[in-house]
Structure 1
Amino acid sequence: MFKYPVTLTKDGANLLVTFKDIPEAITFGKNEEEALENAIDALETGLSFYVDARKPLPKPSKAKRGQKIIAPSALESAKLGVYQAMMDQGIKKAELARRLGWHMPQIDRLFDLKHSSKFDQIEAAATVLGCHIEITVAT
């Protein structure tokens, strides 16, 4: 759902990592492996800016041939999915808190991509939005 194509550009001794869809997400690495590993954190940080500003998340563009795809971690993807559902339905954080019977700091932590929320809380938020979370393990 949140799989974004990444561009790797040689920059001196490093590889510069950028995302066309999320210009705020920029990082680098000494080699491709390190650059792609750092790209996950850069992507999550870039997407957190949209969540913090209560803006819609950018839609991923189609990857060009040979272009790598980066996605947030599973927990962050679940949080982003709930956030996107809330945005799509025009529901504010205060309304979500009311529906869940939670206080606003709990809602703020739910959408903090650096906070290690409990998965059952993310599922509860999805449920009150009329959604469910699916998890797939792929090889």
Structure 2
Amino acid sequence: MQYPVKIVRDGDAYCVTSRDLDQVNSVGYSLEEALHEAADGIETALMIFYMDGKQAIPLPSKKEEGEYLVDLPAQVAAKVALYNEMINQKVTRAELGRRLHWKQAQVNRLWELDHSTKLEALEAAFHAVGKKIELNIVAA
């Protein structure tokens, strides 16, 4: 999952914004730092503004001229896909927990994008909503 961002130099700082996620507003003091901070800003926006607000997460649009792509970890992409599928099906966290026979804390960790979740747990959660994960490997 790659979100396009715009990076504008402002004095010593590099300011990052995203057309897809208005809430992203990150700063770095080198281009590399700005891209790193952008990834953190995107994950934070996804958790706070969308997941906590129980809103569907907008998927990334295509990169436009002058933009950079920010790669999110595969696990974050999987969690976003699961979250959006649950929103689409109107499946609550409590309902997912019942379907999986999991404690609520286990289900809640699926929405912590910075929490490492085993692939098997994500597969089980997708199965509980009638979906499965397919892996696609592409050139870096």
CA contact 2:6–2:66 (8 Å) conserved in 1: no
Report the Cα distance in structure 2 between the residues aligned to 1:83 and 1:109, rounded to whole angstroms.
12
Partner of 2:98: 98
Partner of 2:83: 83
Report the Cα distance in structure 2 between the residues aligned to 1:110 and 1:123, rounded to whole angstroms.
11
Partner of 2:113: 113
Cα displacement (A) at 1:129: 1.1
Identity %: 38
Q: CA RMSD in A?
A: 1.5
Report the Cα distance in structure 2 between the residues aligned to 1:135 and 1:13, rounded to whole angstroms.
41
User: What TM-score, normalized to structure 2?
Assistant: 0.90
For 2:58, give the aligned amino acid.
P
Structure 2: runs of 5 or more not aligned: none
Secondary structure of the 1:16 match is strand
For 1:8, give the aligned amino acid.
I
Partner of 1:35: 34
Partner of 1:60: 60
Secondary structure of the 1:126 match is helix
Cα displacement (A) at 1:80: 0.9
Cα displacement (A) at 1:61: 2.9
CA contact 1:40–1:73 (8 Å) conserved in 2: no
User: What TM-score, normalized to structure 1?
Assistant: 0.90
Describe the superposition over 1:42-84 as per-residue Cα deviations: whole angstroms up to 9, x where unpaired.
1111111111221111232332123212232111111111111
Report the Cα distance in structure 1 between the residues aligned to 2:9 and 2:66, rounded to whole angstroms.
16
Cα displacement (A) at 1:125: 0.3
